């Protein structure tokens, strides 16, 4: 088996002034990074991560060890660059990496960029989002419907650059001829339902370049609220085709929004970089903030349940009161 067709593209989106996403598509290595931070710091962070992935991809060890190692190296570079330049303090980036080797795909993951696998017409999300909404979903405190419109759906709980070391999720999945793997930033997954992504990949299964472009157009039509990056690769039993190293760092829609004076601001809280940004921008929160947010959601849920019970109880009491009045009237008339 080998890597067959490969496609990747990125777009600034309709609401961003710059593109802070970066991607790598150099078979057998693929990666997506989504930068966090103001004053172009997020863009710097994602570039550093992409460059580290390329430079470290040939290191020794198992596929999972190599993936974890290159993400740790990317984290060190981002953290070091942030420490050396006060203008970049607090910058970070998500990173999702896939390495194809010996009929398997090793995945490394930090943040809320995602990896999917399309097999036999079914799309499976392989990674778990390291985000506030992801934590609340897994704990049962939010439904999928609530998660899609949650006001803090842009808050990530883990990112490269916050600390000298980062906790990397790594795992390996099997690969079969015909499988299509997709890596994307949340600019795609937050705009489209998984069913829409699946349908597009299925319809354009033989044209991954077209599928990637269609997915980006669909995300733009849905609002394009963030940078959109999509990388697809196919597993083939044929001889590998010609591939070209590519790191995509273009600003394809640089004038999407006019500049304003509300740049993202950065500060330190509980030892973890926190990005305070306009609504829709990515933010990194500490574990303590995460627990506080979970408690807030649980209290909101309990309050809603109490209100719903009161809403049911009030009509019931009214019915009982009316029935009692009717009984009393009938009793009085029959005396």
Residue ranges of the alpha helices (H) in the chain?
41-56, 63-84, 132-138, 144-148, 186-189, 194-203, 208-221, 287-334
The torsion region of residue 242 among left (phi > 0), alpha (psi -120 to 50) and beta comes to beta
What is the residue extent of each domain of the chain? Answer: 2-285
**CB-based contacts of 145, cutoff 8 Å, min separation 6:** none
- Nearest CA-CA partner of 247 in 105, 6, 54, 74: 54
* Cβ neighbour number for residue 153 with a 10 Å cutoff: 20
CA distance 170 to 319: 59
- Tell me what pLDDT residue 36 has: 83
Distance from C-alpha of 274 to C-alpha of 283, rounded to nearest angstrom: 6
DSSP code of residue 160: B
**Computed from CA positions of residues 47, 52, 57, 63, in that sequence, does the dihedral angle turn out positive or negative?**
negative
pTM of the model: 0.73
Burial 159-188 (b: 16+ CB within 10 A, else e): bbbbeeebebbbebbebeeebbbbbbbbbb
At 212 the pLDDT is: 97
pLDDT value for 324: 75
Cα distance between residue 21 and residue 13, in whole Å: 11
Place of tokens 């080797």: 101
Q: What is the C-alpha R_g of the chain?
A: 24
- Closest C-alpha among 58, 11, 50 to residue 32: 50
How confident is the model at residue 72, as a pLDDT? 96
Which residues of the chain are modeled with pLDDT < 70?
Answer: 37-40, 58, 134, 139-154, 239-314, 316, 327, 329-335
pLDDT value of residue 38: 60
Q: Which of 121, 132, 182 is nearest to 154 (CA)?
A: 132
Query: pLDDT per residue over 218-240, tens digit each?
Result: 999 999 999 999 999 999 987 65
Closest to 127 in 3D by CA, of 180, 170, 166? 170
Q: Are 207 and 55 in contact (CB under 8 A)?
A: no
Question: What are the DSSP calls for 269-293, one per residue?
Answer: ETTEEEEE-STTS-EE--HHHHHHH
In CATH, the number for domain 2-285 is: 3.60.40.10
Among 52, 41, 26, CA closest to 93? 41
- Give the model's pLDDT for residue 318: 74
Contact 212, 260 (CB under 8 A): no
- Tens digit of each residue's pLDDT (9 = 90 or more) over 275-287: 223 334 554 544 4
Provide CB contacts within 8 A for 117, sequence distance 6+. 105, 123, 124, 126, 173, 179, 180, 181, 182
pLDDT at 90: 83
């Amino acid at each position: 088996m080998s890597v067959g067709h490969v496609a990747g593209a990125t777009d600034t989106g309709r609401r961003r002034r710059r593109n802070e996403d970066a991607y790598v598509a150099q078979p057998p290595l693929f990666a997506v990074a989504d930068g966090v931070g103001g004053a172009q710091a997020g863009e710097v962070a994602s570039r550093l991560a992409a460059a580290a992935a390329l430079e470290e991809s040939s290191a020794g060890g198992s596929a999972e060890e190599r993936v974890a190692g290159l993400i740790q190296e990317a984290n060190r570079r981002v953290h070091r660059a942030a420490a050396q330049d006060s203008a970049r303090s607090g910058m970070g980036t998500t990173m999702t990496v896939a390495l194809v080797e010996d009929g398997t795909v090793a995945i490394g993951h930090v943040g809320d960029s995602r990896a999917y696998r399309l097999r036999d017409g079914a799309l499976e999300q392989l990674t778990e989002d390291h985000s506030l909404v992801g934590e609340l979903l897994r704990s049962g405190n939010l439904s999928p419907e609530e998660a899609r419109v949650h006001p803090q759906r842009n808050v990530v709980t883990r990112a490269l650059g916050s600390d000298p070391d980062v906790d990397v999720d790594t795992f390996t999945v099997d690969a079969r001829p015909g499988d299509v793997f997709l890596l994307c930033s949340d600019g795609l997954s937050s705009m489209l339902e998984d069913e829409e992504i699946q349908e597009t990949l299925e319809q354009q299964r033989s044209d991954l370049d077209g599928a990637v472009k269609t997915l980006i157009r669909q995300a733009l039509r849905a609002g394009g609220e963030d940078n959109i990056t999509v990388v697809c690769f196919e597993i083939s039993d044929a001889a590998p085709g010609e591939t070209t190293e590519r790191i995509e760092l273009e600003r394809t829609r640089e004038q999407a929004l006019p500049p304003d004076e509300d740049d993202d601001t950065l500060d330190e809280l509980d030892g973890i970089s926190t990005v305070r940004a306009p609504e829709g921008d990515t933010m990194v929160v500490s574990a303590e903030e995460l627990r506080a947010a979970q408690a807030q959601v649980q209290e909101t849920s309990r309050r809603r349940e109490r209100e719903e019970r009161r809403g049911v109880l009030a009509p019931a009491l009214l019915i009982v009161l009316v029935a009692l009045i009717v009984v009393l009237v009938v009793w009085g008339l029959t005396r």
